[in-house]
Amino acid sequence: MQNIRMLQQQVNSLITQARHDIYSISATSDPTAKQVKLQRIWDALTSIQFLNDLLAAHAASSNAAANDRPPINTMASPTAASPAVAVPNQTFTIQDLANYDGKNGRPAYVAVSGVVYDVTNNRAWAAATHFGLVSGRDYTQEFASCHAGQQSILATLPVVGRLI
């Protein structure tokens, strides 16, 4: 329950930030400042969608547990209008994830914050590597240190499951 409250507080904070940025855009004529604000709004909306999907997945699993049924797979493909997607029911251990290294025709997967993404066809992950990182691993810490506040990057990747 405390995690749910924390997610709700994060959503409210992002909404407040986006409202402030929208007001700031209307009050400035500097095109560079407008572009920065628009990117922050985009990132905030992407994060809100991601957090909403986490809350929905939690609600679905809570309802399923209460009804003693497996959760419904609500996976959707990303679109420009809705870049974040719900996490599918497929689960991976660290050992499972290591098998998705992009070698010998295998897909290339990486995990960030418990979500497993398919980077097989992503240009930034050519040859299943990205700036010295190899696919088949959990990069939660690395993503946080290099791409803090840039959830929109993850929203462009297909979600294939979750890391347990």
* Concatenated DSSP letters of 47-111: HHHHHHHHHHHHHHHHHHHHHT-PPP-------SS----PPPS-EE-HHHHHT-BS-TT--BEEE
pLDDT at site 36: 84
- Please list the pLDDT of the chain residue by residue as tens digits (164 residues): 667 777 777 787 788 888 888 888 888 899 888 888 888 888 778 778 777 777 777 777 666 666 655 444 444 333 333 334 455 679 999 999 999 999 999 999 999 999 999 999 988 898 899 989 999 999 999 988 888 777 788 888 899 999 99
What are the tens digits of pLDDT across the range 143-157? 888 887 777 888 888
pLDDT at site 110: 97
pLDDT at site 64: 63
What are the tens digits of pLDDT across the range 15-38? 888 888 888 888 889 988 888 888
